[in-house]
Amino acid sequence: MKRRILLVDDDLAVLLTLKAVLELNGFEVDTAGSSAEALVRMESGVYQMVISDLRMETEEAGLEVIRAARRQAYDPATALLTAYPPSGNHWQTEHRNGQEDWTENSDSLLVKPLGTGDLLRQVEALLIRHADKQESQRNSASKAQQTGRRAG
């Protein structure tokens, strides 16, 4: 079974290039050209990962996509894609507008331009880390249930 990725970017050239690279390397890729389109796709599909450009219709459209992905029951790994990586306090004061920053929303930050090798390594590593985190959460929940049964 191919791993499914939702790729979101308003730059068609970037969207199609990254889609081709990922598909050539064994991923099934759905695309969205806006945050609104991404929200519809997330509700109608199941993805192992959601990668969204940070700046689209608004400065924080990508964060909105990532927040929505985090609310999905299928719990995808998430990554923000940007040509404008955050830098310390500048990011927090200029771009946050009182909201949480990307590190509290996304599992990873992918900085454009991305070489093919870098993209694939980062996506694979993120998927592995996310699967490990999910397994750890399942194990913790299972242990808590077992402890609760013994105590009751």
| Topology of domain 3-151, CATH | Rossmann fold (3.40.50)
CA atoms within 13 A on the CB side of 88: 1
Nearest to 49 by CA among 68, 23, 77: 77
Task: Read off the pLDDT of each residue in 128-152 and give the average, rounded to a whole number.
Answer: 77
Q: How confident is the model at residue 1 (pLDDT cuts 50, 70, 90)?
A: low
Record the pTM. 0.80
Q: Write out pLDDT tens, residues 32-80.
A: 999 999 999 999 999 999 999 998 998 889 999 999 999 999 999 999 9
Structure tokens at 63: 């964060």
pLDDT band, residue 3 (cuts 50/70/90) = very high
For residue 140, what pLDDT band results from cuts at 50, 70 and 90? confident
Residue 11 pLDDT > 80, yes or no? yes
